[in-house]
Chain A
Amino acid sequence: MFEYAPAVALLPFVSFLIALSVGSYMPKKGAFAGIAATGGSLLLSVWAFVTVSGGEVYNEPDLFTWVAAEELSLSFGILIDPLSAMMLIIVSLVAFLVHVFSLGYMNDEGETGLPRYYAELGLFTFSMLAFVYASNLLMAFMFFELVGLCSYLLIGFWFRTESAASAAKKAFLVTRFGDYFFLIGVIGVIATFGTAQFAGQESFPVLAEHALVDGETEAMTTFLGLGEQAWVTLLGMLVLGGVIGKSAQYPLHTWLPDAMEGPTTVSALIHAATMVAAGVYLVARMYGFYALSPTVLTFIAFVGGFTALFAATMGVIKDDIKRVLAYSTISQYGYMMLGLGAGGFVAGSFHLMNHAFFKALLFLGSGSVIVLMHHEQDMWEMGGLKDKAPATYYTFLAGSLALAGIIPFSGFWSKDEILFEALHYGLGNQPLLLGAYAMGLVAVFFTGFYTFRMVFLTFHGDPRSDTARDPHPVGWSVKVPLVVLGLLATFIGFVNMVPVADLLNMDIEFLHQWLDGPEETVTSVHHYEELVHDAAGFEAADIGPYLPGALSLGLALAGAGLAHMLYNVPDPEPHTEKLGNIRTLLKRNYYQDEYQVWIAEGLTLPVARAANKFDRTVVDGAVNGISRVSLDSGSRLKQVQTGVVTNYAALLTFGLVALLVVVGLYGGWF
């Protein structure tokens, strides 16, 4: 099967080309090409998944050699192991459903520029799929950047409105800031290990492991006079810069809420499966490297926990349905980082999968609500949509229950596992993780609250506007993706029910087994767990999974209950206005934008101005000075040319005489 593997990514690329060139002549403006291509990718991904589950792992590091030098060769390759096979299905499924949903959200609403939209969606899907099965860090970096470019194009889809253009620019610049560190990290990895492969015996995580665990220090070259451990930590931190930018972690999260300016379908794709997921996926992809450094792991966990809480508090007071979801995305990716940083590779990947489904569902659901409401996004203008649009309501409710982490919906199982991982390593010998755990735990309460505030304000109570009383109907192309994702969001959590497995003493942790792979390799969970224990030195405390699970479930229910009390009434009041100054603080997003703008204007701009001045005066001055000297002397010298023949004759004559005199003097004629 694996000889068809390149087609998984290339099919959407073909649809990109088709939509770009002949999209405007096609029925539905290129949508069918995109649907067919992503559908094909989905089928191929499933085929790859089945093949991998048959015990084969595809690692072809040298499909196309890009640079072939003696010391080092850079190439494009494909790595399909359990992790990437799982992610391929997630990405192609969500992309497929988003394409179908676009028929109802974009085509039926009479948008213009649809060929461009479908072309960009195709390119976006292509870049993400290629990123997912990239076999080395450099290739991953290239497609990582391409994903960033596509999100820039799609966020700025309605580029004629000023806010969309500025949001696109902001997303591009903020993520680029993180990617700058990532690029240095990629170069550092290649310079250190001579390879950037993710998997196999010659891969950089394995070489780093040999150097750190087995003491074979000749496997790596360190720089700046740092020891092996410190150098690995530094490289990990550099690559993490890109992750923090893409996955919208504090302090580079500011681009993501603004990215809501794009079409809602694009938000679904960006938040669930492509752009934002790329960061966390990268951490999971090179987990063997991160697991070697307890400092980086703890840092990841701490940033994740902090971001989870930080974003959740901001989500509490937002009135725009898409903005609430945006902050929930930041918060949920914080959880994934917390899980991965706390040594829970399975927990983090599990939440990545669950989140992809329920967040795609919620965004498509909110897209459906926006269609119902004639493009109104303010939740205070909604209300009472429950009876008017039952399909949207029940699927949205399933996604909300998953997001809030309420048993038995998918989000509960993964969030619970993440918090459990953080707690049991925290109680073991990593007290810092306890801080991250505490933040994650408090965020559960806020998550429950804002999720259900959103549900109640949108769907319950009395309609608060004329459009809410008489909503616009939605078609099958909106409902079918919602139902598919609704089922997934409800049931996908059952693949890894750790507490139930513990309770029944049964072997039903399917995702854990899946990620472990058919045999132990350097990318299987078993190996990662050993590394976290041996190399990073994480010790687990012996605690049962029930009490922490009950605690987080209780907090989620408390949050949801508070929302129910305050907002599930026929005519809810804006209770958050009672918060006073805190509300202002939250409304202004903790002044994060302001201080970043201040850094840009107060620090970067003067430095840039000074550099500009230096460039214009010193560098340009030297160049211009040289040319001015020759120009001036030329214009003086040209006065010799009078154009009068007599003068030339005189010059000739006197020149000859002078020459004769000189030759005579030196030649000794006189």
Chain B
Amino acid sequence: MAPPVEYYLLLSAAVFCIGLFGILTRRNALMFLMSVELMLNAANINFIAFSFQHGNLTGQVFSLFTMALAAAEVAVGIGIILVLYRNFQDVDVTKAATMRW
């Protein structure tokens, strides 16, 4: 007997909030990247849960796409972090503010 969809949604909301909290409070770029991953996966949980609920595969296909996208995003993100480190000798995102006005 599978658990009802509300539990999945609760889990997804919890993961999303953890990710959001991470983005708003952490200064380390790696933690940033991880938080973004958490938020993406919270969305994936939703997709899968609703896919299961409705009994079709559309949501699962979507989540596969999201995972591929997340992989690409991480590659780009790591690249940015490397350049950030090279220029500022640090991975603190608040320091990279020289391009503003």
Contacts and interface: CB of A to CB of B under 8 A. Distances in A.
Contact of B97 (A638, A644, A653): A644
A224 interface: no
Contact of A643 (B20, B25, B27, B96): B96
Contacts of A650: 24
A49 B24 CA distance: 99
A653 B35 CA distance: 14
Interface in A632-670: 638, 641-646, 649-650, 653
A644 B94 contact: yes
12 contacts: A641-B101, A642-B97, A643-B98, A643-B100, A644-B94, A645-B32, A645-B93, A645-B94, A646-B23, A646-B24, A646-B93, A650-B24
A641 B23 CA distance: 18
Contacts of B93: 644-646
Contacts of B94: 644-646
Interface residues of A, number: 10
B99 interface: yes
Contacts, number: 29
B19 to A, nearest CB: 11
Query: Lowest 5 CB-CB distances: which A-B pairs, in order?
Result: A643-B97, A643-B100, A645-B93, A644-B94, A649-B23
A646 B25 CA distance: 7
A643 B96 CA distance: 7
A650 B23 CA distance: 8
A576 B53 CA distance: 125
A641 B97 CA distance: 10
Contacts of B24: 646, 649-650, 653
Nearest to B23: A649
A638 B27 contact: no
B100 A641 contact: yes
Interface in B42-100: 93-94, 96-100
Q: What interface size band does chain B fall in?
A: 10 to 19
Given A644-B93, A645-B93, A646-B93, A653 B20 contact: yes
B84 to A, nearest CB: 10
Interface of A: 638, 641-646, 649-650, 653
Interface centre among B25, B96, B100 (most CB of A within 10 A): B100
A540 B24 CA distance: 109
Nearest to A652: B23
Nearest to A638: B101
A650 B94 CA distance: 13
Nearest to A645: B93
Contacts of A644: 93-94, 97
Nearest to A649: B23
A642 B100 contact: yes
Contacts of B25: 646
A434 B13 CA distance: 113
A10 to B, nearest CB: 64
Contacts of B101: 638, 641
B93 to A, nearest CB: 5
A142 to B, nearest CB: 56
A642 to B, nearest CB: 6
Nearest to B35: A649
A185 B60 CA distance: 87
Q: Choose among A642, A643, A653 the residue with the greatest number of B CB atoms under 10 Å from its CB.
A: A643
A643 B99 contact: yes
B78 to A, nearest CB: 16
Given A643-B98, A644-B93, A646-B24, 8 more contacts: A638-B101, A643-B99, A644-B94, A644-B97, A646-B23, A646-B27, A649-B23, A653-B20
Contacts of A649: 23-24
A151 B98 CA distance: 64
Nearest to B98: A643
A648 to B, nearest CB: 10
A236 to B, nearest CB: 68
A638 B99 CA distance: 13
Nearest to B24: A650
Contacts of B23: 646, 649, 653
A649 B96 CA distance: 15
Nearest to A650: B24
B53 to A, nearest CB: 21
Nearest to B36: A649
A22 B49 CA distance: 92
A643 B101 CA distance: 9
Tell which of A641, A644, A650 has the most Cβ of chain B within 10 Å: A644
Contacts of A638: 101
Contacts of A653: 20, 23-24
Interface in B1-32: 20, 23-25, 27, 32
